[in-house]
Every structure is written in C-alpha cells, then in structure tokens.
Amino acid sequence: MEKREELYRGKAKTVYTTDDAERLILQFRNDTSAFDGEKIDQLERKGMVNNKFNHFIMQKLEQAGVPTQVDALLSDTESLVKKLEMIPVECVVRNVAAGSLVRRLGVEEGIELNPPTFEFFLKNDKLHDPMINESHIVTFGWATEAHIAEMKRLTFKVNEVLKALFADAGMLLVDYKLEFGLAGEQLVLGDEFTPDGCRLWDAETKTKLDKDRFRQGLGGVVEAYEEVAKRIGVEL
C-alpha cells in the first residue's frame, strides 16, 4: 500500500490518500487539543496509544456486527481505513451525567442515566458543534431518515458491546461520540473510538481516565489512556 498526499489534517489525526482509490491511511498524532483548539499540547506516545486502542475497539465492534472503517494496523501510529463519505453529524450516548449535559441541564455529575440519553450534534468547529435534532438533519440534507435510524441503532449496539467490555475491566463508560459515513450504500462507523472521544471512569474510585484529564489540567493523560488500554487487553 503506497502512502500518497495529505488529504485532511485535523486536530489530532491526519488522513492520506493511497494508491487504492477506496482506501486511506489514518495517522494518529501526539497533538492534543480541547475547547475547539483553545488548549493545545503535544503528549508523547499518545498517537501510538490511540491508534492501537482504536484498532482493538473497532475489531471488537466488527465481531459484534458493527461495520467499521478500519481495515488494518499499519504501524504504531497508522491504520488503513476505507474511504467514506462522512455524515457531518455526531451521535452521542450518555450513560452517566457529565460534561455538557451537566452544564446545560444543571443535573449532578455522576448520576446514572436510565435509560441512556441519545443526542445529535452538528460537526462544525466554527459553530462549536451545536446540538441538532432529526428534523434539522433531514431538512438540511445531512442524512436521510433511514440513515438516522441506522445510526441510532448502531450507536446503541456499540453501547451494549462497550459498556460490558469496560465494566469487565472495572470501568464505567460514561459517554461517547460516534461518527458515521457511507461506503456506497452501506452505513459504516468511521473516525475513531479512543479516550479522546469518550469518558471513562474507574468504577470504584470514579477517577477520570480520559481526555477530561487534559481539559481539567489533572495531568497523567497518556498514562490514563495506557491504563485503560491495558485493562481491556490492548497490546501497546
């Protein structure tokens, strides 16, 4: 597989074209940002940890029947992925109250949400990823009603699989965001699933083991990511 030109550079990942028109290379960098890029840093080993973590999680989801973008692990920091037509919508499931839900609704952090909540957000940094609803998605042509239904189904399937995975390792899957894209007619889970895009707490101590350590200046960010990876069996 020949790596070619840079196609897109995000806050923490870079996408490259390849000699296969249907495949891309996804590179995880050590860059770390929060608050729409207002807080930025470089964290040694983070790209490697997230790349291997993401590959492990996507394999688990594939085994559970969730189609994913990831094809193969190429190196410590790069993965081969399918080229998708991404839908500019984030799907968020919350199992425990935290983050923006607490700020918006004034509820107490740590409350278990039963049933879990589901929210849509528009993927747009300039607008700070505003919350949207199904009507907005259909009206503005971001996705069809059929795509919306399938995104919701797959997002809750991911919750079923990963809540159990993390629980078995002594952790709470507090919340997470997913992005989907189309490979032809098939809806596929894209982007990533790493501690950058979810909240994970130790089940007993409620210690934060995710990107909130960076957001809140708690330190030990990569060390926390590595702990999560090792608990669930990721080989780093």
Range of the structural domain that residue 29 is part of: 3-82
Same structural domain for residues 16 and 103?
no
Same structural domain for residues 144 and 216?
yes
Same structural domain for residues 100 and 38?
no
Write down the pLDDT at residue 107: 97
CATH code assigned at 26: 3.30.200.20
Would you say residue 17 lies in a domain?
yes
Residues of the chain scoring pLDDT < 50: none
CATH code assigned at 92: 3.30.470.20
Write down the pLDDT at residue 74: 98
Write down the pLDDT at residue 35: 85
The letter for the amino acid at 78 is E
Whether the CB-CB separation of 135 and 122 falls below 8 Å is answered with: no
Q: What total of structural domains would you count in the chain? A: 2
Distances in Å between the Cα of 102 and the Cα atoms of 96, 107, 141, 178, 202 are 10, 5, 30, 20, 19
